[in-house]
Chains A and B, each alone.
Chain A
Amino acid sequence: MSLAPGSPPAVEAHALVREYKGGIRAVDGLDLQVAAGEIYGFLGPNGAGKTTVVRILTTLLRPTSGDALVGGRSVVRDGDAVRRLIGVALQEAAIDPLMTGRELLRMQGALHGLRSKQARERGQNLLERVGLTEAGDRRVGGYSGGMRRRLDLALALVHRPQVLFLDEPTTGLDPTSRAALWREVRALNDEGTTVFLTTQYLEEAEQLADRVGIIARGRLVVEGSPTALKAQVGPPTIHVELADAEGAQRARSALRGLGALEPAGAGGDIHVQLRTTAGKAAIAPVIRALDEHGVQVESVEVQMPSLDDVFMAVTGATLEGASSNDGSPSSGDHVGEAVPASRAPEATTAR
C-alpha cells in the first residue's frame, strides 16, 4: 500500500534537533525527505544519530525542536496517526523469548486493531511469507538471529504499513540470512511500501536503496542515489598488477593517453593505477595496450568509488568497520588472475 501520487512525501524532517542531557546533540538540524514508494538508505557510523532519528520518526522519542512528518502527519502533534501508518523493526529485535512467533503475531494484530480471526489468518500468512511456518509454534528464545529478524519484519507488517522503518535489520546476520532479508525488503517495496532503512553496511545500502543519506554527527552530510554519489567522488580506477617490476615503465608508457595515471600505491612498482571515466569499458583497451608493449600482467581490476569513498570525501573519515562487516571485500570488478595480457581480452567478463 503506497501513498497516492501527489500525496505528501512519505517522510520529511525539518530542522530536527534532539539534544540529550549534558547538551549532547544526537541530531543537529536534520532536514530530509523520502518519497512514497522509495527505499531510503540512512547510512552512518555508530553514534552518528541514525537510531535517534528513527526513534523520532516512529514517535518513540520527541525531538527537542523541529518536526517530522510521516505520511503527512506530524510525529509531535499526531503521533497516533503516524503509528497507524508505520511498521517498525528496531535495531535489537525486542521480541519476548518466552512467546511463540504465532502468539506474538496475534498480539501484534490485536495491537493494530485486528479481530482475533483476522489476526490469526494474517499471522499465518506472514509466517509463510517469512519462512517461519514450521517454527511458528516454537518459543522465540530458540530462534536463530536470522529467524528473529524475519519474525521482527513479519511483526512490522501485520497491519500492512505504508512506511516501514528498519533499523539495522541485518546487523549480526550471516550472508545467507542477510540476502533473504534483502529479497523480502525488495519484494515489499515492489508492493509499494516505502522503506526507511538505517544501516552501517555499505553493501546493504548499495544493494537496496534508491537513495542514500549519509549522516555524521547528527547532520545529513550528503544525499543522493548511490550511483550519483559515487560519481561525485570521481571516475573509477583501473588497477593493473604486473607480473614483474621490470615492466612498470613500459606499462606506464602504454597507458598514458587512456586516462590519468596515478602514483603507484602499496605494492610499489608492480602496480599501476589509471583513473578513467570509461570504467569497465577501458579494460579491453588497457589490456590491448599492455599487450602491444609486451607487458606481462597478473591481474586487472576496476575499482568503482564506494560509498565509503563518498563518506570519506564529505567527512574526512571512513565508515569505521563498515567494509569488514560487509561480507563483500570491495566493489571492484576483478578480472582474472595471472592473466598474460596476450590472453586477457576474452576474460573481461566483469560482474
Chain B
Amino acid sequence: MSHGILEREARVVLALGRRALTVQFRRAQLLMPTFVLPLMLLAVISSGTSAAVDLRGFPDVASYLAFMVPGTVVQGTILAGLTAGIALASDIEFGFFDRLLAAPVKRTSLVLGRLCGTLGLAILQSSFFLLVALAFGARYPGGAGAAVAAVAIAAITAVGVGGIAAAIALRTGSLALLQSLFPFMFVLLFTAPAFFPRELLAPVLRDFSVLNPLTYVVEGIRALLNGDAGLGDPALGLLAACLLAVCTTALSTGALQQRLRRT
C-alpha cells in the first residue's frame, strides 16, 4: 500500500474514531455504563470489602483503593468495548453503516475507525477513574509514568474487547443481542482477579482465571499502579492486551468481509 493510500486511510480511521467518540458523549445510555457504573461498583465493593486486606494471602498494599482500581479500570475497558459493538450494531440496524460502505475506503478502515473511537474512549475513561480514585484517597506508589502505562494497557485491552463486540455486531447486525451481552461482562470480570488476588479466588475461578487474558491485564496494571512487581507482570499484561487486540481486530475484519460476501 502506497504512502498516499495509507495517509488517506489514516484520515478515514481518525474521522470515524472522532465520530464514534462524539456520539458516545452525546448518548447518555452509553455514557452512563461506561463512566458511572464502574465507579458505583468500586464504591460499593471498596466500602463493603475493605476488611479483605486482613485476610491471609491478601498482598501487602499501600492503599486498598489502589488495589481495587485496576478492577474498575478493566471493567471500564470491557464496557467501552461492548459499547463499541452496540454502536456498530446500531449503525447497521439504522442504515448508517451503508453510508460508510458506499464510500471508497478500505473495509478494514471501517472497523479500525470504530476501534479507534474505543481506544480514545478507554484512555479518557481510565484516566478519569484513576483521578476520581486519587481524589478519594487512592495512592499510586508506581508514579505518574506507571499510571500512563496502565492507561495505555487498559486502552489496548478495550480495543481487544471492542474487536469481539464488533465481530458479533457485524456477524449478527443485532442491537438487541449486543445489549443482552452486558451480564457476560461480569463473568469476564469475576473470572479475573479484578477485585481480589488470584490466591483468594475459589479454586474453579482460579483455574479459569489462568485462561482469561484479563487476568494478566488487571495484574499488570495493579503492579504498575502499586509499584510492586509481586502483584503482577506489566509486560505480560501488555502482551495479553496486544494479543487480544490483534486477534479480535482480525476477527472483526473477517466478520465484515464475511458480511459483505453474504450480501
Interface of A with B (CB < 8 Å)?
Answer: 58-62, 80-81, 83-84, 86, 88, 90, 92, 94-96, 98-99, 103, 106-108, 110-113, 115-116, 139, 155
Contacts and interface: CB of A to CB of B under 8 A. Distances in A.
A291 B99 CA distance: 62
Interface stretch (B102-110, B143-151, B155-163): B102-110
A99 B12 contact: no
Contacts of B56: none
A113 B104 contact: yes
B96 A94 contact: yes
Given A111-B105, A112-B104, A113-B104, A99 B95 contact: no
Would you call the interface of chain B mostly helix, strand, loop, or mixed?
Answer: helix
Given A58-B102, A62-B263, A88-B102, A94 B19 contact: no
A59 B102 contact: yes
Nearest to B14: A110
Contact of B22 (A60, A88, A98): A98
B15 A106 contact: yes
Interface in B94-134: 94-96, 98-105
B175 to A, nearest CB: 14
Nearest to A88: B102
Given A60-B263, A107-B15, 10 more contacts: A81-B104, A92-B95, A96-B19, A96-B23, A99-B19, A99-B23, A111-B15, A111-B103, A113-B8, A139-B26
B89 to A, nearest CB: 14
Interface in B73-99: 91, 94-96, 98-99
B27 interface: yes
Given A60-B102, A112-B103, A107 B95 contact: no
A98 B26 contact: yes
A81 B104 CA distance: 7
A55 to B, nearest CB: 8
18 contacts: A60-B98, A80-B104, A86-B102, A90-B95, A94-B98, A95-B96, A96-B91, A96-B96, A98-B22, A98-B27, A99-B22, A103-B19, A107-B18, A107-B19, A110-B11, A112-B104, A115-B11, A139-B26
Nearest to A62: B263
B99 A155 contact: yes
B16 interface: yes
A111 B12 contact: yes
A107 B105 CA distance: 12
Nearest to A139: B26
Contacts of A62: 261, 263
Contacts of A112: 103-104
A61 B263 contact: yes
Q: Which of B22, B96, B104 has the most CB of A within 10 A?
A: B104
Contacts of B261: 62
Contacts of A86: 102
A110 B95 CA distance: 19
Per CB-CB distance, the 5 closest pairs between chain A and chain B, nearest first, are: A94-B95, A110-B15, A111-B103, A83-B104, A84-B104
A94 B26 contact: no
A155 B95 CA distance: 15
Contacts of A110: 11-12, 14-15
A190 B18 CA distance: 36
Nearest to B100: A111
A61 B91 CA distance: 17
Contacts of A99: 19, 22-23
A30 B254 CA distance: 32
Contacts of A88: 99, 102
B94 A94 contact: yes
Interface in B17-36: 18-19, 22-23, 26-27
Contact of A83 (B11, B19, B95, B103): B103
Contacts of B263: 60-62
Contacts of B22: 98-99, 103
A325 B102 CA distance: 29
A98 B90 CA distance: 13
